Amino acid sequence: MTTVSVEQLDRFFCDLKPGFETATEDESRLAPRFNVFRWLSPELTLSWIIRELLDPNGVHGQGDLFLGSFISFVGDKAGLGNLGTDRNAPLPKCEEVTKYTGNPLRRLDITLRPNSQFTIGIENKPWAKDQPNWVADYSDHLARCGDSYLLIYMTLNGCDPSGDRDQAKAAELEPGKKFLKVSYKEDIKAWLEVCCQICRADKVRSFLRDFIDYVKGVTETEMLSERNRTIVDYICDQPSNRIKIAYSVASTLREVQRRIVADFQAALVQSLGAEVDDDWQVTPIPREELLEKWNVFKVSKRHWVGRFALALSFEGRDCVGLTFGIFKRDENAPHIRGLRSRMDEATGITGREWPHWEWEFPVDQRYDNWNAPDTLERLAAKNDALHYFVGWFLKMQGLSEAIIDDECRSTT
Protein backbone atom coordinates (compact mmCIF):
# COMPACT_ATOMS: atom_id res chain seq x y z
CA MET A 1 0.00 0.00 0.00
CA THR A 2 1.34 3.42 -1.01
CA THR A 3 1.15 6.07 1.72
CA VAL A 4 1.83 9.71 0.92
CA SER A 5 1.82 12.51 3.47
CA VAL A 6 0.39 15.98 2.98
CA GLU A 7 3.92 17.38 3.31
CA GLN A 8 5.17 15.17 0.48
CA LEU A 9 2.30 16.28 -1.74
CA ASP A 10 2.96 19.94 -0.98
CA ARG A 11 6.66 19.58 -1.79
CA PHE A 12 5.90 17.60 -4.98
CA PHE A 13 3.63 20.28 -6.42
CA CYS A 14 5.80 23.16 -5.16
CA ASP A 15 8.89 21.77 -6.91
CA LEU A 16 6.93 21.09 -10.11
CA LYS A 17 5.40 24.56 -10.30
CA PRO A 18 8.29 26.47 -12.02
CA GLY A 19 8.56 24.01 -14.90
CA PHE A 20 4.81 23.91 -15.27
CA GLU A 21 4.64 27.70 -15.46
CA THR A 22 7.32 27.70 -18.19
CA ALA A 23 5.33 25.16 -20.21
CA THR A 24 2.21 27.25 -19.73
CA GLU A 25 4.02 30.33 -21.07
CA ASP A 26 5.22 28.37 -24.13
CA GLU A 27 1.68 27.17 -24.74
CA SER A 28 0.34 30.73 -24.62
CA ARG A 29 2.71 31.70 -27.46
CA LEU A 30 2.50 28.54 -29.61
CA ALA A 31 -0.99 27.16 -28.80
CA PRO A 32 -0.01 23.59 -29.82
CA ARG A 33 -3.31 22.13 -28.63
CA PHE A 34 -5.55 24.59 -30.48
CA ASN A 35 -7.54 22.80 -33.15
CA VAL A 36 -11.13 23.38 -34.25
CA PHE A 37 -11.76 19.63 -34.19
CA ARG A 38 -11.51 19.60 -30.39
CA TRP A 39 -15.05 21.03 -30.46
CA LEU A 40 -16.26 18.77 -33.26
CA SER A 41 -15.56 15.44 -31.61
CA PRO A 42 -19.03 13.90 -31.28
CA GLU A 43 -19.46 10.96 -33.60
CA LEU A 44 -22.30 12.51 -35.60
CA THR A 45 -20.29 15.64 -36.33
CA LEU A 46 -17.33 13.63 -37.63
CA SER A 47 -19.72 11.66 -39.84
CA TRP A 48 -21.07 14.86 -41.38
CA ILE A 49 -17.55 16.19 -42.01
CA ILE A 50 -16.52 12.97 -43.76
CA ARG A 51 -19.75 12.98 -45.76
CA GLU A 52 -19.05 16.55 -46.87
CA LEU A 53 -15.56 15.61 -48.04
CA LEU A 54 -17.00 12.69 -50.01
CA ASP A 55 -19.64 14.86 -51.70
CA PRO A 56 -18.56 15.85 -55.25
CA ASN A 57 -20.84 18.88 -54.90
CA GLY A 58 -19.48 19.79 -51.47
CA VAL A 59 -18.46 23.30 -50.53
CA HIS A 60 -14.80 22.22 -50.58
CA GLY A 61 -14.96 22.83 -54.34
CA GLN A 62 -12.70 19.90 -55.20
CA GLY A 63 -15.28 17.92 -57.15
CA ASP A 64 -14.79 14.17 -56.88
CA LEU A 65 -11.10 14.28 -55.92
CA PHE A 66 -11.71 13.26 -52.29
CA LEU A 67 -14.41 10.76 -53.24
CA GLY A 68 -12.19 9.14 -55.87
CA SER A 69 -9.29 8.73 -53.45
CA PHE A 70 -11.60 7.21 -50.83
CA ILE A 71 -13.15 4.77 -53.31
CA SER A 72 -9.70 3.78 -54.53
CA PHE A 73 -8.50 3.25 -50.95
CA VAL A 74 -11.56 1.14 -50.04
CA GLY A 75 -11.32 -0.93 -53.22
CA ASP A 76 -7.65 -1.70 -52.62
CA LYS A 77 -8.03 -2.50 -48.93
CA ALA A 78 -11.06 -4.73 -49.50
CA GLY A 79 -9.54 -6.44 -52.54
CA LEU A 80 -12.41 -5.26 -54.71
CA GLY A 81 -10.31 -3.50 -57.31
CA ASN A 82 -11.41 -0.29 -59.02
CA LEU A 83 -15.00 0.34 -57.96
CA GLY A 84 -15.30 3.46 -60.08
CA THR A 85 -17.74 6.36 -59.73
CA ASP A 86 -20.68 7.51 -61.84
CA ARG A 87 -21.22 11.18 -62.54
CA ASN A 88 -24.95 10.83 -61.80
CA ALA A 89 -24.55 8.70 -58.67
CA PRO A 90 -26.61 9.71 -55.59
CA LEU A 91 -24.89 12.04 -53.17
CA PRO A 92 -23.50 10.59 -49.92
CA LYS A 93 -25.97 10.56 -47.05
CA CYS A 94 -25.79 10.62 -43.27
CA GLU A 95 -28.29 8.88 -41.00
CA GLU A 96 -29.98 6.76 -43.68
CA VAL A 97 -32.94 5.00 -42.07
CA THR A 98 -32.81 1.22 -42.44
CA LYS A 99 -35.86 -0.21 -44.19
CA TYR A 100 -35.34 -3.94 -44.00
CA THR A 101 -34.49 -4.65 -40.37
CA GLY A 102 -36.31 -5.52 -37.20
CA ASN A 103 -35.47 -2.08 -35.83
CA PRO A 104 -36.78 0.60 -38.22
CA LEU A 105 -35.23 3.41 -36.16
CA ARG A 106 -31.68 2.33 -36.91
CA ARG A 107 -29.63 4.68 -39.06
CA LEU A 108 -26.44 4.12 -41.01
CA ASP A 109 -23.95 6.85 -40.16
CA ILE A 110 -22.83 7.31 -43.78
CA THR A 111 -24.17 5.74 -46.97
CA LEU A 112 -22.21 6.06 -50.18
CA ARG A 113 -23.34 4.84 -53.62
CA PRO A 114 -20.44 5.61 -55.96
CA ASN A 115 -22.12 3.87 -58.89
CA SER A 116 -25.36 2.14 -59.78
CA GLN A 117 -24.07 -1.32 -58.83
CA PHE A 118 -22.41 -0.79 -55.46
CA THR A 119 -23.26 0.60 -52.01
CA ILE A 120 -20.91 1.38 -49.11
CA GLY A 121 -22.38 1.66 -45.64
CA ILE A 122 -20.18 3.14 -42.92
CA GLU A 123 -20.72 2.59 -39.21
CA ASN A 124 -18.65 5.36 -37.62
CA LYS A 125 -17.79 4.44 -34.02
CA PRO A 126 -14.72 6.32 -32.81
CA TRP A 127 -16.04 6.36 -29.20
CA ALA A 128 -19.65 5.22 -28.83
CA LYS A 129 -20.48 1.66 -27.87
CA ASP A 130 -21.95 -0.66 -30.49
CA GLN A 131 -25.67 -1.33 -30.49
CA PRO A 132 -26.53 -5.07 -30.41
CA ASN A 133 -26.99 -6.89 -33.75
CA TRP A 134 -26.01 -3.87 -35.83
CA VAL A 135 -23.88 -5.93 -38.25
CA ALA A 136 -26.81 -8.17 -39.16
CA ASP A 137 -29.27 -5.30 -39.41
CA TYR A 138 -27.10 -3.03 -41.54
CA SER A 139 -25.83 -5.77 -43.85
CA ASP A 140 -29.40 -6.99 -44.34
CA HIS A 141 -30.50 -3.46 -45.21
CA LEU A 142 -27.68 -3.03 -47.73
CA ALA A 143 -28.23 -6.44 -49.29
CA ARG A 144 -31.97 -5.89 -49.75
CA CYS A 145 -31.38 -2.55 -51.46
CA GLY A 146 -30.44 -4.70 -54.44
CA ASP A 147 -26.81 -3.69 -54.83
CA SER A 148 -23.50 -5.31 -54.16
CA TYR A 149 -22.29 -3.77 -50.94
CA LEU A 150 -19.50 -3.28 -48.42
CA LEU A 151 -20.18 -2.55 -44.73
CA ILE A 152 -17.32 -0.56 -43.17
CA TYR A 153 -16.69 -0.45 -39.43
CA MET A 154 -14.72 2.73 -38.69
CA THR A 155 -13.08 2.91 -35.23
CA LEU A 156 -10.06 4.59 -33.70
CA ASN A 157 -7.81 1.54 -33.98
CA GLY A 158 -9.59 -0.82 -36.37
CA CYS A 159 -11.04 -3.06 -33.65
CA ASP A 160 -13.64 -5.82 -33.97
CA PRO A 161 -17.32 -5.27 -33.14
CA SER A 162 -17.89 -5.56 -29.39
CA GLY A 163 -20.71 -8.11 -29.26
CA ASP A 164 -20.21 -11.84 -29.79
CA ARG A 165 -23.14 -12.06 -32.23
CA ASP A 166 -21.84 -9.09 -34.21
CA GLN A 167 -18.36 -10.58 -34.39
CA ALA A 168 -19.83 -13.87 -35.61
CA LYS A 169 -21.95 -12.14 -38.23
CA ALA A 170 -18.97 -10.06 -39.42
CA ALA A 171 -16.98 -13.27 -39.87
CA GLU A 172 -19.79 -14.67 -42.04
CA LEU A 173 -19.71 -11.67 -44.36
CA GLU A 174 -16.57 -12.68 -46.24
CA PRO A 175 -14.15 -10.36 -44.44
CA GLY A 176 -12.78 -7.72 -46.76
CA LYS A 177 -15.37 -8.33 -49.48
CA LYS A 178 -18.54 -7.57 -47.50
CA PHE A 179 -17.23 -6.35 -44.14
CA LEU A 180 -14.19 -4.13 -43.69
CA LYS A 181 -12.57 -2.76 -40.53
CA VAL A 182 -11.05 0.70 -40.94
CA SER A 183 -9.03 2.69 -38.38
CA TYR A 184 -8.74 6.43 -37.90
CA LYS A 185 -5.18 5.93 -36.65
CA GLU A 186 -3.86 4.53 -39.94
CA ASP A 187 -6.49 4.36 -42.68
CA ILE A 188 -8.42 7.61 -42.29
CA LYS A 189 -5.23 9.52 -41.51
CA ALA A 190 -3.63 8.11 -44.69
CA TRP A 191 -6.69 9.03 -46.78
CA LEU A 192 -6.72 12.57 -45.37
CA GLU A 193 -3.03 12.92 -46.18
CA VAL A 194 -3.75 11.94 -49.80
CA CYS A 195 -6.63 14.45 -49.87
CA CYS A 196 -4.26 17.11 -48.55
CA GLN A 197 -1.76 16.36 -51.34
CA ILE A 198 -4.29 16.50 -54.19
CA CYS A 199 -6.33 19.42 -52.82
CA ARG A 200 -6.10 22.58 -54.94
CA ALA A 201 -7.47 25.07 -52.37
CA ASP A 202 -5.20 26.37 -49.61
CA LYS A 203 -8.17 27.02 -47.32
CA VAL A 204 -9.41 23.43 -47.58
CA ARG A 205 -5.87 22.09 -47.30
CA SER A 206 -5.48 23.92 -43.99
CA PHE A 207 -8.74 22.34 -42.80
CA LEU A 208 -7.48 18.89 -43.79
CA ARG A 209 -4.21 19.43 -41.92
CA ASP A 210 -6.17 20.31 -38.78
CA PHE A 211 -8.25 17.16 -39.27
CA ILE A 212 -5.07 15.07 -39.61
CA ASP A 213 -3.60 16.63 -36.46
CA TYR A 214 -6.83 15.93 -34.62
CA VAL A 215 -6.83 12.27 -35.68
CA LYS A 216 -3.22 11.95 -34.55
CA GLY A 217 -4.07 13.51 -31.20
CA VAL A 218 -7.00 11.24 -30.37
CA THR A 219 -5.33 8.03 -31.52
CA GLU A 220 -1.71 8.42 -30.45
CA THR A 221 -1.74 8.63 -26.67
CA GLU A 222 2.03 8.86 -26.59
CA MET A 223 1.82 12.40 -27.96
CA LEU A 224 2.34 14.67 -24.97
CA SER A 225 1.70 18.35 -24.53
CA GLU A 226 4.59 20.39 -23.22
CA ARG A 227 2.85 20.55 -19.83
CA ASN A 228 2.66 16.77 -19.62
CA ARG A 229 6.22 16.38 -20.84
CA THR A 230 7.39 18.67 -18.05
CA ILE A 231 5.64 16.49 -15.49
CA VAL A 232 7.04 13.27 -16.98
CA ASP A 233 10.58 14.65 -16.99
CA TYR A 234 10.23 15.87 -13.41
CA ILE A 235 9.02 12.48 -12.14
CA CYS A 236 11.56 10.43 -14.09
CA ASP A 237 14.42 12.65 -12.89
CA GLN A 238 14.03 11.20 -9.36
CA PRO A 239 11.59 8.30 -9.67
CA SER A 240 12.38 6.82 -6.25
CA ASN A 241 11.15 9.97 -4.54
CA ARG A 242 8.37 11.02 -6.85
CA ILE A 243 6.74 8.11 -8.64
CA LYS A 244 4.74 6.97 -5.58
CA ILE A 245 3.36 10.47 -5.17
CA ALA A 246 2.50 10.71 -8.85
CA TYR A 247 0.81 7.30 -8.72
CA SER A 248 -1.22 8.31 -5.67
CA VAL A 249 -2.34 11.52 -7.36
CA ALA A 250 -3.24 9.77 -10.64
CA SER A 251 -5.21 7.04 -8.90
CA THR A 252 -7.42 9.60 -7.18
CA LEU A 253 -8.24 11.81 -10.19
CA ARG A 254 -11.37 9.89 -11.15
CA GLU A 255 -12.77 10.24 -7.64
CA VAL A 256 -11.80 13.91 -7.61
CA GLN A 257 -13.84 14.33 -10.78
CA ARG A 258 -16.74 12.35 -9.31
CA ARG A 259 -16.80 14.51 -6.16
CA ILE A 260 -16.70 17.80 -8.07
CA VAL A 261 -19.41 16.63 -10.48
CA ALA A 262 -21.55 15.29 -7.61
CA ASP A 263 -21.18 18.54 -5.64
CA PHE A 264 -22.10 20.60 -8.69
CA GLN A 265 -25.10 18.40 -9.46
CA ALA A 266 -26.32 18.81 -5.87
CA ALA A 267 -25.94 22.59 -6.18
CA LEU A 268 -27.82 22.48 -9.50
CA VAL A 269 -30.67 20.51 -7.90
CA GLN A 270 -30.87 23.03 -5.05
CA SER A 271 -30.75 26.06 -7.37
CA LEU A 272 -33.43 24.69 -9.70
CA GLY A 273 -35.59 23.71 -6.73
CA ALA A 274 -35.55 27.33 -5.59
CA GLU A 275 -36.63 28.54 -9.04
CA VAL A 276 -39.53 26.17 -9.83
CA ASP A 277 -42.69 25.41 -7.87
CA ASP A 278 -43.97 22.15 -6.44
CA ASP A 279 -45.43 21.10 -9.81
CA TRP A 280 -41.89 20.36 -10.94
CA GLN A 281 -39.60 17.47 -10.07
CA VAL A 282 -35.82 17.41 -10.50
CA THR A 283 -34.31 13.96 -11.13
CA PRO A 284 -30.52 13.92 -10.70
CA ILE A 285 -28.19 11.16 -11.86
CA PRO A 286 -27.27 8.66 -9.11
CA ARG A 287 -23.77 9.33 -7.78
CA GLU A 288 -22.52 5.86 -8.70
CA GLU A 289 -23.59 6.40 -12.33
CA LEU A 290 -22.28 9.94 -12.76
CA LEU A 291 -19.26 9.03 -14.89
CA GLU A 292 -21.06 6.54 -17.14
CA LYS A 293 -22.36 7.33 -20.62
CA TRP A 294 -25.91 8.06 -21.78
CA ASN A 295 -26.95 9.65 -18.47
CA VAL A 296 -29.74 12.25 -18.41
CA PHE A 297 -30.41 14.87 -15.72
CA LYS A 298 -34.14 15.70 -15.93
CA VAL A 299 -36.49 18.46 -14.84
CA SER A 300 -40.14 17.60 -15.45
CA LYS A 301 -43.66 18.62 -14.44
CA ARG A 302 -45.41 15.97 -12.40
CA HIS A 303 -48.49 15.78 -14.64
CA TRP A 304 -46.24 15.06 -17.63
CA VAL A 305 -45.83 11.66 -15.86
CA GLY A 306 -42.35 11.16 -17.25
CA ARG A 307 -43.37 11.52 -20.89
CA PHE A 308 -41.29 14.68 -21.36
CA ALA A 309 -38.51 16.45 -19.49
CA LEU A 310 -36.17 19.37 -19.81
CA ALA A 311 -32.87 17.57 -19.86
CA LEU A 312 -29.10 17.72 -19.68
CA SER A 313 -27.64 14.65 -21.39
CA PHE A 314 -24.14 13.18 -21.03
CA GLU A 315 -23.44 11.35 -24.28
CA GLY A 316 -20.02 9.94 -23.40
CA ARG A 317 -18.25 8.26 -20.52
CA ASP A 318 -16.64 10.54 -17.90
CA CYS A 319 -19.18 13.33 -18.48
CA VAL A 320 -18.23 14.39 -21.98
CA GLY A 321 -20.38 15.40 -24.94
CA LEU A 322 -23.07 17.32 -23.02
CA THR A 323 -26.29 18.41 -24.73
CA PHE A 324 -29.34 20.37 -23.61
CA GLY A 325 -32.79 19.50 -24.86
CA ILE A 326 -36.37 18.41 -24.42
CA PHE A 327 -36.44 14.69 -23.78
CA LYS A 328 -39.32 12.37 -24.68
CA ARG A 329 -39.63 8.92 -23.16
CA ASP A 330 -41.36 7.18 -26.08
CA GLU A 331 -39.01 7.25 -29.05
CA ASN A 332 -41.78 6.01 -31.35
CA ALA A 333 -44.22 8.78 -30.47
CA PRO A 334 -44.63 11.54 -33.07
CA HIS A 335 -42.89 14.82 -32.33
CA ILE A 336 -44.97 17.64 -30.86
CA ARG A 337 -46.04 19.83 -33.75
CA GLY A 338 -44.52 23.30 -33.66
CA LEU A 339 -42.26 22.72 -30.65
CA ARG A 340 -38.97 22.50 -32.49
CA SER A 341 -39.68 25.55 -34.67
CA ARG A 342 -40.72 27.48 -31.56
CA MET A 343 -37.46 26.62 -29.79
CA ASP A 344 -35.34 27.36 -32.88
CA GLU A 345 -36.94 30.74 -33.45
CA ALA A 346 -36.86 31.88 -29.82
CA THR A 347 -33.29 30.76 -29.06
CA GLY A 348 -31.65 31.36 -32.42
CA ILE A 349 -30.29 27.80 -32.23
CA THR A 350 -31.16 25.17 -34.81
CA GLY A 351 -31.85 22.18 -32.59
CA ARG A 352 -31.98 18.56 -33.66
CA GLU A 353 -34.83 16.06 -33.48
CA TRP A 354 -33.89 12.50 -32.54
CA PRO A 355 -36.05 9.52 -31.54
CA HIS A 356 -35.76 10.39 -27.81
CA TRP A 357 -35.51 14.16 -28.28
CA GLU A 358 -38.03 16.79 -29.31
CA TRP A 359 -35.20 19.32 -29.56
CA GLU A 360 -31.52 19.09 -28.67
CA PHE A 361 -28.34 21.15 -29.03
CA PRO A 362 -24.74 20.95 -27.74
CA VAL A 363 -23.76 22.66 -24.49
CA ASP A 364 -21.40 25.64 -24.79
CA GLN A 365 -17.80 24.52 -25.28
CA ARG A 366 -16.81 25.96 -21.88
CA TYR A 367 -18.97 23.31 -20.22
CA ASP A 368 -19.32 20.45 -22.72
CA ASN A 369 -16.56 18.29 -21.21
CA TRP A 370 -16.72 17.70 -17.45
CA ASN A 371 -13.49 15.73 -17.65
CA ALA A 372 -11.32 18.74 -18.59
CA PRO A 373 -9.35 20.55 -15.85
CA ASP A 374 -10.57 24.02 -16.83
CA THR A 375 -14.20 22.92 -16.79
CA LEU A 376 -13.85 21.09 -13.47
CA GLU A 377 -12.43 24.28 -11.97
CA ARG A 378 -15.49 26.19 -13.23
CA LEU A 379 -17.82 23.55 -11.77
CA ALA A 380 -16.01 23.65 -8.42
CA ALA A 381 -16.37 27.46 -8.31
CA LYS A 382 -20.08 26.96 -9.11
CA ASN A 383 -21.22 30.57 -9.59
CA ASP A 384 -20.84 31.11 -13.34
CA ALA A 385 -21.54 27.47 -14.17
CA LEU A 386 -24.74 27.44 -12.12
CA HIS A 387 -25.86 30.66 -13.78
CA TYR A 388 -25.35 29.07 -17.21
CA PHE A 389 -27.06 25.73 -16.55
CA VAL A 390 -29.94 27.06 -14.44
CA GLY A 391 -30.45 29.79 -17.02
CA TRP A 392 -30.88 27.32 -19.85
CA PHE A 393 -33.30 25.13 -17.89
CA LEU A 394 -35.44 28.15 -17.09
CA LYS A 395 -35.29 29.35 -20.69
CA MET A 396 -36.42 25.94 -21.96
CA GLN A 397 -39.17 25.92 -19.32
CA GLY A 398 -40.51 29.31 -20.38
CA LEU A 399 -40.54 28.41 -24.07
CA SER A 400 -41.84 24.84 -23.99
CA GLU A 401 -44.02 24.41 -20.88
CA ALA A 402 -47.34 25.55 -22.38
CA ILE A 403 -46.84 23.54 -25.58
CA ILE A 404 -45.99 20.34 -23.68
CA ASP A 405 -48.93 20.96 -21.29
CA ASP A 406 -51.29 21.12 -24.28
CA GLU A 407 -49.81 17.94 -25.74
CA CYS A 408 -50.24 16.05 -22.47
CA ARG A 409 -53.84 17.26 -22.05
CA SER A 410 -54.78 16.33 -25.61
CA THR A 411 -53.45 12.77 -25.32
CA THR A 412 -54.77 11.81 -21.88
pLDDT number for residue 263: 97
pLDDT number for residue 245: 79
Measured CA to CA, the distance from residue 351 to residue 399 in angstroms comes to 14
pLDDT band at 23 (very low <50, low <70, confident <90, very high): low
Q: Express each pLDDT in 324-347 by its tens digit.
A: 999 999 988 889 999 999 999 999
pLDDT band at 249 (very low <50, low <70, confident <90, very high): confident
pLDDT number for residue 105: 64
pLDDT band at 354 (very low <50, low <70, confident <90, very high): confident
pLDDT number for residue 83: 79
Higher pLDDT, residue 78 or 401: 401
- DSSP lists the bridge partners of residue 323 as 313, 362
Domain boundaries, the chain: 39-219, 253-410
pLDDT band at 237 (very low <50, low <70, confident <90, very high): confident
pLDDT number for residue 30: 47
From the centroid of its chain, how far is CA 331?
A: 21
Asked whether the predicted pLDDT for residue 379 surpasses 70, the reply is yes
Element at 31 (helix H, strand E): none
Residue 5 CB burial class (10 angstroms; 0-12, 13-18, ≥19): exposed
pLDDT number for residue 256: 93
Residue 27 CB burial class (10 angstroms; 0-12, 13-18, ≥19): middle
Residue 70 CB burial class (10 angstroms; 0-12, 13-18, ≥19): buried
Measured CA to CA, the distance from residue 80 to residue 77 in angstroms comes to 8
pLDDT number for residue 44: 63
pLDDT band at 402 (very low <50, low <70, confident <90, very high): very high
